Amino acid sequence: MHLEIIIIGIVVGIANFLSRFAPLWFLQRKHRKQTQKGHAWIGVAMGSIGISAICAMLMVATLPPLLENPAKTLAMVCGFSILVLVYFLTKKIVLATLLAALCYGLVFTYLPV
């Protein structure tokens, strides 16, 4: 695997994590000043890691095949669409991820584009 892909994956993962963690951390910090609860930011951080890791893995897993064969962009779009749709309908990330991976694999393998 090329170093550029690894660096892009790390940067995307960090940016995704910070985009989810920072607003929650600032809100919690503001709220903590009002209630004096203590260090609840660790819970906020742990809640932000899951979706950030999934997004970073999705990007790292799909980028090499897309660089190799750009015509297969439709497979990535279908997989991401299924991920978003199933997650918002069921609120179950595991089911959404598995169905998105299945959809991505089927479209990538069998659609003659």
Q: Where are the domains of the chain?
A: 1-62, 69-113
The crossing angle, in degrees rounded to 10, of helices 41-68 and 3-35 is: 160
Average pLDDT in the 83-101 region? 88
Joined together, the tokens standing for residue 63 give: 């980028």
Burial of 41 (C-beta count, 10 Å sphere; 0-12/13-18/19+):
middle
Helices then strands, each counted (H, E), the chain:
4, 0
Q: Is the pLDDT of residue 105 over 80?
A: yes
> Letter for the amino acid at 95?
L
Tens-place pLDDT, residues 60-87: 777 777 778 777 788 888 888 998 899 8
- Examine the pLDDT at 15 and tell me if it is beyond 90: no
At 39-52, the pLDDT tens digits run 565 666 656 666 66
Quote the tokens at residue 99. 């169905």
Q: In 1-113, at which residue ranges do the beta strands (DSSP E only) sit?
A: none
d(CA 113, CA 98): 23
